[in-house]
Amino acid sequence: MRSKYLFFSLAFLLISQTSCKEGSEEYSAKAETEIKEPTKEEQIKRGEYLARTIGRGHCHTPKKMTENGPVPDLDRWMMGHPSNSELPAIESDDLGPGKWLLMHGDLTATVGPWGISYGANLTPHETGIGNWSFDQFRKAMTEGKYKGMDNSRPLMPPMPWQSYAEMKTEDLQAIYEYLMSLEPIENVVPAYTPPDRIVVATE
């Protein structure tokens, strides 16, 4: 009688463990399938939040003057330094290591020891990033490569790509989708000017 009782007890334990294991595996598989990828709309919404929070519009959007001072011109949002905008005269005494860093009045152009850099056109026009793949965007944002190309020159200050290098891929993807959802604006941003090609003011 005792051996019969022991047999049924062991059988019950074996069946219970097997059932729990199967239930656990079923639950894990079910939970995994229920993890939903964000929709394109959700990505764009998050991308807008991230782009505005980290200040992507500061150097990539021309400004307009209001009674409260300069504010981003939303009609030219993310179009970069205007192609028809001329920089004011630059004094040679202001240039060089340890001297001044100069910024254009709308913050879309910067002069420093590295030369003159311009805020890029980040709209999905072909003159902006319209032809970029996500991999190019990721490489530009996290590795500081011009146009996201391996053999290109480095991105110049004040582009803070080093700060973006630790961003998660899904956040970079969200920003990319947001920028690709913007109104395309035709604007050929001036090319980077090396320091030895800066035209300085003459007396």
Does position 189 have pLDDT exceeding 90, yes or no? yes
One DSSP character per residue, 112-154 reads: ETTEEEE----SSSTTTTTT--HHHHHHHHHH-BGGG-TTSPB
141 band by pLDDT with thresholds 50, 70 and 90:
very high
Q: Quickly count: other Cβ atoms within 10 Å of residue 105's Cβ.
A: 13
User: Over pLDDT 90: what percentage of the chain?
Assistant: 66
Query: Distances from the Cα of 103 to the Cαs of 58, 71, 78, 112, 157, in angstroms?
Result: 12, 16, 17, 9, 11
Q: How many residues does the chain have?
A: 203
Contact between 82 and 105 (Cβ < 8 Å): no
The per-residue pLDDT for 93 is 82
Does position 17 have pLDDT exceeding 60, yes or no? no
* Mean pLDDT calculated for residue range 137-156: 96
C-alpha to C-alpha distance for 150 and 144, rounded to whole angstroms: 10
What angle do helix axes 169-180 and 40-53 make, rounded to 10 degrees?
100
User: Over pLDDT 70: what percentage of the chain?
Assistant: 82
- The two tokens of residue 15 are 């069946």
Q: What is the pTM of this model?
A: 0.80
Does position 16 have pLDDT exceeding 60, yes or no? no
